[in-house]
Amino acid sequence: MERFLAQNWTVIQPALFLVFTGLIVLLVDLWLKEEEREWLAYFSLVGFGGAGVIVVRQWLAVRGLETPITGFGGMMVLDTLGLLFQMLFFLVGFLAVLLAPGYLTRRRLQRGEFYALLLFSTAGMSLLAGAQDLIMLFLGIEVLSIPLYILAGFARPRLDSEEASLKYFLLGAFATGFLLYGTALLYGATGTTAFEALRASEAAAAPRENVMFMAGIALLLVGLGFKISMAPFHQWTPDVYEGAPTPVTAFMVAATKAGGMVALIRLLYWGLGPADDVWRPLLGVLAAVTMTWGNVGALLQRNVKRMLAYSSIAHAGYLLIGVLSGGVGFVAVLVYLLIYALTNLGAFGVILLLEDGEREALDIESYRGLARFHPGAALLMSVFLLSLAGFPPTAGFFGKFLLFTAGISAGLTWLVVVAVLNSVLSVFYYARVIVKMYMQEPVETPAFSRSWLVAGALAVAAVGVVLLGLYPTVVVRLITA
């Protein structure tokens, strides 16, 4: 009994809380009628909120400590980096739940599993944020991904949703194979899966002399690259983001990227730190390829969801600059992810306002003259798009500024130059939507459905984007304090 309780469960307390909430949602749903199920959304909000409170309290307690708290024989760690990432995940989860109920009710998809899976997926991210072992890393990624495969197909029997689910699942399983193979090879080369022991291993000290170790790193990068949609492993992204139900897409865009980034940071710096001369140049080149490919792809899209999918690939490229910079770079990655998440959730929130269960504002043409019908929605969409493009004084500008200065101080000037050129390129496709909304004549009355929940999420996102743009240093000071 004591031994079971002595495992330091506080380390996974937020994840436990989410899993419990998810279980309750899952089981209570079985005895609810269809029209009562909206209550599950409010209950899930409590789940995300409660997990958020736990994490903030843990953060306040852990902040001053010299050595971080570990649990489960060193498999999990409770440090500020992990806790800050978890705050981000729970915020995204909270906002994503706000976006969902209206959409689900209109399409008769209001089912408890939706919220349960969202909670489970976030629990996976929460585990990932503290992972200190390749096995926990793997399991965290699986708990994060498998609910998303299901959620992508939630609008079944709509064909594009089924297609998205199947594509995501098959390619995701393929990527999981890479991840597992890489884990096995690293274990073979070092005899351990713990990050601490990996860091201290002989193979990590001289990676170039150990073929197995090198192959292991390469395979792990492929697997994680898939999860953050890093080129050339991003091919699934547009199709999946387009086909999945819009609230799910919003969650995936904002949260999985953050989950993948924290996994990458943990693995590269905590596990493979000494071998950085191997992965650093590789990842640098891939970052440049990713942002360029994403932006060029986005230029060619007519569907707004696909455009945002390609834009998310480009943003993964920018984020890799922060990951490569280390130290200050992590702060930049965190702040950028926060801004990026708020902006994307906001943009998808607007898309969700412009649908009525039958028509969806997915084609870029459906934004023509939107400002005349719904000036508020058009204004919000413009703010979010400008922030994605990195225009001052929106938050997006400040996020890019942080990332790029971190990159320059880490000696990655060439990569920052590529990123700046890419940002310029990206303005074209973001601005195209704004031009359509304000300067072109409308073709038809746009679909619209009022929802207080979506409006609330939009308000949070918009206030966040504006405030972070106006008072950027506050959040940085809060994080680094």
Partner 1 sequence: MVPYVAIAVLFVLSTGVAVMIMMVGSLFGPRRPTPRKLMPYESGMVPVGRAMQRMPIRFYLIATLFIIFDIEVIFLFPWALVYRQLGVFGLLEMFTFLALLVAGFVYVWRKGALEWE
Partner 2 sequence: MSAQFVIFGLLAVTSVATALAMIFSRNAVHGVLFMVGNFAAVALLYVLLGSPFLAAVQILVYAGAIMVLFLFVVMLMGPEPAPLWEHIPGQRPLALLFGLLLAAGLIAAVNVEELTGVPGIMSQEVLERLGQPTALAQTLFERYLLPFEVTSLLLLIGMIGAVVLAKREKHELQAERAPREGGAE
Binding site for partner 2 (CB under 8 A): 7, 12, 19, 26, 34, 72-73, 75-76, 108, 111, 113, 116-117, 120, 123, 127, 135-136, 139-140, 142-143, 146-147, 149-150, 153-154, 156-157, 165, 187-192, 201-203, 209-212
In the complex, minimum distance from the CB of residue 124 to partner 1, in angstroms, rounded to a whole number: 14
Q: What is the DSSP string of 436-464?
A: HHHHS--SSPPP----HHHHHHHHHHHHH
Does residue 28 touch partner 1 according to CB under 8 A?
Answer: no
Size of the site for partner 1 (CB under 8 A): 8
Helix or strand or coil: residue 359? coil
C-beta separation of 453 from 250 below 8 A? no
203 binds, among partner 2, partner 1, none (CB under 5 to 8 A by kind): partner 2
Does residue 474 touch partner 1 according to CB under 8 A?
Answer: no
Token pair listed for 277: 């001369």
Does residue 26 touch partner 1 according to CB under 8 A?
Answer: yes
Give every CB contact of residue 15 below 8 A, 6+ residues apart in sequence.
Answer: 123, 124, 126, 127
Helix or strand or coil: residue 288? helix
Q: Which listed residue (12, 23, 209, 288) binds partner 1 by CB under 8 A?
A: 23
For the chain, the distance separating the N- and C-terminal CA atoms, rounded to the nearest angstrom, is: 39
In the complex, minimum distance from the CB of residue 240 to partner 1, in angstroms, rounded to a whole number: 22
The span of 23-31, 45-53, 362-370, 373-381 binding partner 1 (CB under 8 A) equals 23-31
27 binds, among partner 2, partner 1, none (CB under 5 to 8 A by kind): partner 1
Taking the least distance from each CB to partner 1, the nearer of 143 and 321 is 143
In the complex, minimum distance from the CB of residue 94 to partner 2, in angstroms, rounded to a whole number: 21
Greatest C-alpha distance within the chain: 71
The span of 1-9, 209-217, 412-420, 469-477 binding partner 1 (CB under 8 A) equals 1-9
- Rounded Cα distance between 117 and 148, Å, is 8
In the complex, minimum distance from the CB of residue 295 to partner 2, in angstroms, rounded to a whole number: 30
Neighbours of 176 (CB within 10 A): 18
The span of 19-27, 170-178, 284-292, 302-310 binding partner 1 (CB under 8 A) equals 19-27
Q: Taking the CA of residue 210 as centre, how many other CA atoms within 13 Å lie in the half-sphere pointing to its CB?
A: 21
How far lies 305's CA from each of 30, 301, 347, 426, in Å? 33, 9, 10, 15
| Residue ranges that bind partner 1, judged by CB under 8 A | 1, 3-4, 23, 26-27, 30-31
